[in-house]
Structure 1
Amino acid sequence: MKAKKIAVIGAGVSGLGAIKSCLEEGLEPTCFEKGSDIGGLWRYEETPDTGRAGIYKSLTCNTSKEMTAFSDYPVPDHFPNYMHNSKMMEYLRMYARHFGLMQHIEFLVRKVCSVRKRPDFSSSGQWDVVVEADGKQQSYIFDGVMICSGHYTEKHLPLQEFAGPKQRGHSMWHWNFQSPEPKRTLCKGLGFILQIWSVTNTAVWLLEASLQPHKTIFPYLSRDINLKKNRYYGAFEIIYHNFFINKIHSTFSDDLPNRIITGKVRMKPNVKEFTETSAIFEDGTEEKVDTVLFATGYTFSFPFLEDDLAILDSQHSMYKFVFPPQLEKPTLAFIGLLQPVGALIPTTELQSRWAVRVFQGLKKLPSETDMLAEINRRKTRMAKEFVDSPRGASRVYYIDYMDEIASELGVKPNLLSLFLWDAKLAREVFYGPCTPYQYRLQGPGKWTGARAAILTQRARILKPLRTRVLQHSGSRSSGWLWVRSVCAVIFLSASMVIILQMIGH
Structure 2
Amino acid sequence: MTAPGKLRVAVIGAGAAGLCAARHLAAHPESFAPPVVFEASGRIGGTWVYTEETGQGPDGLPICSSMYRDLRTNLPKEVMAFPDFPFDPSLPSFLHHSHVLAYLERYADHFGVREHIRFSWLVDAVSPAEGAEGGWDVTACRAQDRTVQTTERFDAVLVCTGHYADPFVPPIPGLETFPGQLLHSHEYRCPEPFAGRTVVLLGAGPSGVDLTLQLAPLARRVILSHRQPPLPGLPGNVLQAAPVVGVAGPTVQFEDGAEHRADVLILCTGYRYRFPFLAPARLGLRLTDHTVTPLYQHLLLPRHPGLFFIGLCQQICPFPHFHCQLLFCLAVLAGTCRLPPAAELQAAAEGELRQHLGAPQHFHRLGGRQWGYCQELARLGGFEPLPPVLRKIYEATGASRSQDVSRYRSLSYRVLSAEEWELVGAEPGGAVHKGGSPRGAGGNGDGAPSPAAALG
* TM-score band w.r.t. shorter chain: 0.7 to 0.9
Where 1:32 maps in the other structure, the secondary structure is strand
Give the 3 Å change call, closer, same or farther, for CA 456–155 of structure 1 in structure 2.
closer
Q: Confirm whether residue 349 of structure 1 aligns to residue 323 of structure 2.
A: yes
Shift of 1:281: 1.4
Query: Are residue 333 (structure 1) and residue 336 (structure 2) matched?
Result: no
- Aligned partner of 2:399 in structure 1 is none
Shift of 1:51: 4.2
2:428 is the alignment partner of 1:455: no
2:24 is aligned with 1:15: no
Indicate the residue corresponding to 1:323 in structure 2.
Answer: 300
Instruction: Measure the CA separation in 2 of the matches of 1:6 and 1:460.
Output: 41
The equivalent residue for 1:114 is 125
Deviation at 1:457, TM superposition (A): 9.4
Q: Is the 8 A contact 1:66 1:435 kept in 2?
A: no
Please give the secondary structure, in 2, of the residue aligned with 1:161: coil
Aligned to 2:185, which of 171, 174, 180?
A: 174
How far the C-alpha of 1:353 sits from its partner, in A, is 1.1
* Residue 421 of structure 1: aligned partner: none
Partner of 2:226: 200
What secondary structure is seen at the aligned counterpart in 1 of 2:359? coil
Residue correspondence of structure 1 range 159-238 to structure 2 within 5 A: 160-163=171-174, 166-180=177-191, 181-182=194-195, 183-191=197-205, 192-193=207-208, 194-195=211-212, 196-201=222-227, 203=228, 230=229, 234-235=230-231
Aligned pair partner of 1:300 in 273, 286, 289: 273
**24, 29, 39: which one pairs with 2:27?**
24
Q: TM-score, normalised by structure 1?
A: 0.69
Matched residue type, 1:9: I
**1:113 and 1:435, CA in 2 relative to 1: closer, same or farther beyond 3 A?**
farther
Which runs of 5 or more residues in structure 2 are unaligned?
A: 213-221, 394-414, 441-456
Deviation at 1:376, TM superposition (A): 2.4
Instruction: Provide the rounded CA distance (Å) in 1 between the counterparts of 2:149 and 2:307.
Output: 22
Match 1:405 to one of 377, 384, 393: 377
2:135 maps to which of 120, 126, 132: 126
Which consecutive segments of 4 or more residues in structure 1 shift more than 6 A?
456-461
The aligned residue for residue 53 of structure 1 is 65
Distance 1:130 1:61 in 2: 35
One-letter amino acid matched to 1:338:
C
**Count of aligned residue pairs for this structure pair:** 378
Structure 1: runs of 5+ lacking an equivalent: 204-229, 236-256, 415-428, 437-452, 467-482, 497-505
* C-alpha contact (below 8 Å) 2:177/2:249 kept by paired residues: yes
Kindly state the Cα deviation for residue 59 of structure 1 after the two structures are TM-superposed. Answer: 1.0
- What secondary structure sits across from 1:94 in the alignment? helix
Q: Could you give the per-residue CA deviations for residues 307-362 of structure 1, whole angstroms, max 9, x where no partner exists?
A: 333733545210001110012xx3211111121x3311111111111112212222
The structure whose Rg is larger is 1
CA contact (8 A) 1:66 1:461 kept: no
Contact kept, 8 Å, 1:67 with 1:435, in 2: the verdict is no
Question: What is the aligned-residue RMSD (CA, Å)?
Answer: 3.0
Instruction: Give the distance between the partners of 1:281 and 1:118, measured in 2 at CA.
Output: 52
Q: CA deviation at 1:272?
A: 2.5
What is the DSSP-based 3-state SS (H/G/I as helix, E as strand, rest coil) of the residue aligned with 1:197?
Answer: strand
Specify the SS of the correspondent of 2:300: coil
Shift of 1:299: 1.8
The 5 A counterparts of 1:34-73 are 34-48=40-54, 49=57, 50-73=62-85
For 2:100 and 2:384, locate their aligned partners in 1 and report how far apart those are by CA, in whole Å. Answer: 27
Instruction: Give the whole-Å Cα distance in 1 for the aligned partners of 2:74 and 2:371.
Output: 16
1:280 aligns with 2:253: yes
Give the corresponding residue for 1:265: 238
- Could you state the TM-score of these two structures normalised by the residue count of structure 2? 0.76
Deviation, structure 1 residue 55? 1.3
Aligned to 2:359: 388
CA contact (8 A) 2:51 2:65 kept: no
Cα distance per residue 1:76-127 (max 9 Å; x no partner):
1111111110111111111111101111111112x2111122212xx42321
Q: Cα deviation per residue 1:27-68 (whole Å; 9 max; x = unaligned)?
A: 221111111111111111121433423211111111111211
Change in Cα spacing, 1:174 to 1:287, as seen in structure 2 (3 Å) is same
Aligned residue number for residue 377 of structure 1: 351
